[in-house]
Structure 1
Amino acid sequence: MSNNYLSIKQASEILGVSTLTLRNWDKNGKFPATRHPINNYRVYKIDDLKKFMESFGQKQQNTTISKAQAKKLIVTHLND
């Protein structure tokens, strides 16, 4: 395959997750892999990896805190 693809190990190192996590994400559709035509190994398109990282970053920025976290912040603030 061309240089536009990464192995599962390379993709896992870039994302900071294990190869097992990437396999699970592929199985459940969270981040599907492309299969190498000769050996059927999972490979990842660089463009797909970039898009996934961008969408993951946006989700992280939009995350809200839980009620328990909010209560802890209020208690900490009141105690200060």
Structure 2
Amino acid sequence: MKREFLTVKEVARLLGVTPLTVRNWDARGKLTAHRHPMNNYRMYKTGDVEELLKEFEISKVAKKIPRPPEPARRELAEPEKPKFRKLKIDIL
């Protein structure tokens, strides 16, 4: 049977972060805590944690995709600079 809620420590272990990071995410609204009615501990819905884990996995994959060096990215992002205009003229 799947548990509906996880503790701060369990979430931290699953996501590979510290419990303090989990609490900070709660404070910033990245992860929503629910309070246990008996002891007022923070508890996190399993579904919310699974969604965050999917986001982490996607970002890890995206980081592995090779990117062009910074100067090339800058030039590609700004194609209307004089250097590109001259290049267009030379080609034509």
TM-score range, shorter chain: 0.5 to 0.7
Counterparts of 2:53 and 2:11, CA distance in 1: 11
Q: Which residue of 2 aligns with 1:25?
A: 25
Counterparts of 1:58 and 1:30, CA distance in 2: 16
Q: Which residue of 2 aligns with 1:54?
A: 54
**CA RMSD across the alignment:** 2.6
Gaps of 5+ in 1: 71-80
| Structure 2 residue 70 is matched with structure 1 residue 67 | yes
One-letter identity of the residue aligned with 1:67: E
Secondary structure (helix, strand or coil) at the match of 2:3 reads coil
Please state how far the C-alpha of 1:44 moved relative to its aligned partner: 1.2
Give the alignment's TM-score, normalised by structure 2.
0.60
Give the alignment's TM-score, normalised by structure 1.
0.67
Identity of aligned residues (%): 37
Secondary structure (helix, strand or coil) at the match of 1:55 reads helix
Secondary structure (helix, strand or coil) at the match of 2:17 reads coil
Gaps of 5+ in 2: 74-92
Higher relative contact order by CA 8 Å / sep ≥ 6: 1 or 2? 1
